[in-house]
Amino acid sequence: MINDQKVFALIGARGGSKSIPKKNIVDLGGFPLIAYSIAMAKLSKYIDRIIVSTDDEEIADASRKYGAEVPFMRPAELASDTSHDLGFVKHFIDWAHKENSRPPDLIVHLRPTTPLRDPRLVNEAIKKISERNDATSLRSAHELNEPPQKYFKLDEDFFVGYIDDVKDQNVARQVFPKAYYPNGYVDVLKSDFIVGSQQMHGDKILSFITPVTSEVDGEEDLKYIRYTLAENGSEVYSYLKKKF
């Protein structure tokens, strides 16, 4: 809790994954991938409860083992390849209404595919939005090396500018405003805003800039994160080794 606001972590982890089978519980340094997000939430000084939303019993068992609650199973229609995050977040809020009479004020949305987080940064993000009534949500992002105005898309066999009104991609990148990539490090949502608007983030997204971070989308990403973890470790990894 912070500033009289109840804070829950919500970790969405569906069972289906085409790039890496059972990706959310794939081994990373001796622990399932999802354990890193659970451990990070455990290390936060503001998070009151840790809820995992999944449709998969193996993921549910692993989540409970590492200290999360799995008080419900996610319906199949909210766990397909085309399902949106808003669906399972609203499902969680509906459950919280029935379970606790009201949902948490702040929902810390932690994607299992971003395992290398610093709990101190997550605490900063929670604190930042807890003090901003004008924000509809908070999202993390890191700065891109090149702005999107420098990117190409394909038109048959030819490169064309990704931004239509940019005629010359060879101009210096400093000419364009800095651009940021949403990276899943930490997003913080407001239950009241979601219920009232039926939107997840809204149009007043509070910025939270993080270091460049890696997400597990495919096998190459997993190899890189394993290497990074072996070389540098992390506070979350140390916590897992100590506790389990």
Is domain 7-144+179-243 given the CATH code 3.90.550.10 in the classification? yes
Query: Count of alpha carbons within 13 Å of 22, Cβ hemisphere only?
Result: 11
Could you count the other beta carbons within 10 Å of the beta carbon of residue 81? 8
| pTM, to two decimals | 0.93
Domain boundaries, given as residue ranges, for the chain: 7-144+179-243, 145-178
- Cα angle 206, 151, 155 (rounded to 5 degrees) comes to 125
CB < 8 Å & 24+ apart, contacts of 195-201: 195/93, 195/103, 197/136, 198/86, 198/90, 199/86, 199/136, 200/85, 200/86, 200/89, 200/137, 201/136, 201/137, 201/139
pLDDT of 167 strictly over 80: no
Give the chain's mean pLDDT: 93
Nearest to 121 by CA among 42, 209, 8: 209
pLDDT of 60 strictly over 90: yes
Stretch 10-34: mean pLDDT: 93
> In one letter, which amino acid is 190?
K
For 169-196, letters b (16+ CB in 10 Å) and e give beeeeeeeeebbeebbbbbbbbbebbee
Residue 165, token pair as written in the block: 């009104």
pLDDT of 152 strictly over 80: yes
Q: What is the pLDDT of residue 81?
A: 84
Residue 114, token pair as written in the block: 């971003």
Query: Count of alpha carbons within 13 Å of 122, Cβ hemisphere only?
Result: 32
Lowest mean pLDDT among 101-105, 120-124, 179-183, 203-207: 101-105
pLDDT of 172 strictly over 80: no
Q: Where are the alpha helices (DSSP H) in the chain?
A: 33-43, 57-65, 85-100, 119-130, 191-197, 219-232, 235-243
